[in-house]
Amino acid sequence: MNIKFDNDIILSMNLFSDVTSVIPRDCINFEDKTIFVVNQGQAGLAIGKNGIKIKMLQEMLKKEVIVIEYSDDPVKLFENVIRPNKLISGYITVSGNPQNNKKVEASVDGKVSNNRIRLIKMLMQRYFNIVSINIK
């Protein structure tokens, strides 16, 4: 993963860290939202009791803030991104050259919004070079 951050992203990451005491792994401005990716087990700490830390950040950034826990496992990351929906089953398929033809196949309980699907695709491409997602 070779990701470069611009000044606005670095400032947002520093603000997130100051408010939540959690160092974000990544920050993405996505549509009208700011997505912070944190290490596993740190989402609750970042959100705060009753969401107080996120509410503070939203007021400061004047945007909706979403916190997602990172995982080295693409299926687990997929599961983290679709919350509150539940992942029924998920797996990675590889056809041809494993570097270029990875695909996530997933069954999800409930309907996943188009915005969330775009976010899933963007994160899968960003972290795992997976461009094909099939959600049932």
Q: Is a pLDDT exceeding 60 seen at residue 98?
A: no
Distances (CA, A) of 115 to 14, 16, 30, 86, 120: 26, 23, 9, 17, 9
Higher pLDDT, 6 or 19: 19
For 45, the token pair is 């700490």
Predicted local confidence at residue 109, as pLDDT: 80
Distances (CA, A) of 95 to 11, 120, 122: 40, 21, 21
**7-69 has which fold?**
GMP Synthetase; Chain A, domain 3 (3.30.300)
pTM for the model stands at: 0.86
Displacement of CA 104 from its chain's centroid (Å): 15
Q: Note whether 7-69 and 74-135 share their fold.
A: yes
List the domain boundaries for the chain.
Answer: 7-69, 74-135
Average pLDDT along the chain: 86
pLDDT tens digit sequence for 40-94? 999 999 999 999 999 999 999 999 999 999 999 888 888 898 887 777 777 677 6
**3.30.2020.30, 3.40.190.10, 3.30.300.20, 3.40.50.11540: which CATH number matches 74-135?**
3.30.300.20
Phi/psi of residue 83, each to 5°?
A: -55, 140
